[in-house]
Amino acid sequence: MTPPDPARQADGSGQHAHFRALENLYASAPINALFRSRLEIVAAGHARITFDADERYFHAAGATHGTLYFKMLDDAAFYAANSLVSDRFLLTTAFNLHFTKPVREGRVVAEGKWISGKRRVFIAESHMVDDEGDQIGRGTGTFMRSHIALSGLDGYRLPQ
């Protein structure tokens, strides 16, 4: 499938500026003070989130709680899809998650990729790997265009 053309920007700033503004938006979200991580929009329809898992995220049995899996997989898929939409914030309408391996500590990378959808509804998938290169989780999400303008969000700052 060919992704929609994200270079069509209302303000003429282009694809690169949109990607950086989405990265700023991610960094500005209050939830990310709890889950320290870094978003990189790699290309149109492709996002990567890097974070370090440690005991702060453990459940009672000493491994990372599913909350962290969901957040990182959802965010990676979401930003892969929103990289294709330059005017509106997308909303997650459904997300299917599969745990494939517990993780305790170390660097984790979540990668999201757009699968389909070009107008109102987008589908993206994501997977997470630990620092040994093993897949620890994967998911698929459905995202819908909202009425929220990206340009109206404080964190969505286009580079100067």
- Residue at 42 is within a domain: yes
Q: Is 24 helix (H, G, I), strand (E, B) or coil?
A: helix
- Residue at 56 is within a domain: yes
Q: Which amino acid is at 126?
A: S
Range of the domain at 145: 14-152
Does position 9 have pLDDT exceeding 50, yes or no?
no
Report the C-alpha gap between 7 and 138 in whole angstroms: 29
Can you give the pTM of this predicted structure? 0.90
Give the H/E segment covering residue 116. Answer: strand 106-116
Q: Counting every residue, how long is the chain? A: 160
Mean pLDDT of 104-131: 96
- Residue at 7 is within a domain: no
Report the C-alpha gap between 122 and 84 in whole angstroms: 9
User: Residue 10: its pLDDT value, please?
Assistant: 42
**Distance spanning both ends of the chain, measured CA to CA:** 33
Contact 139, 118 (CB under 8 A): no
- Residue at 127 is within a domain: yes
pLDDT tier, 156 (very low <50, low <70, confident <90, very high otherwise): very high
- Residue at 49 is within a domain: yes
- Residue at 138 is within a domain: yes
pLDDT tens readout for residues 62-108: 999 999 999 999 999 999 999 999 999 999 999 999 999 999 899 99
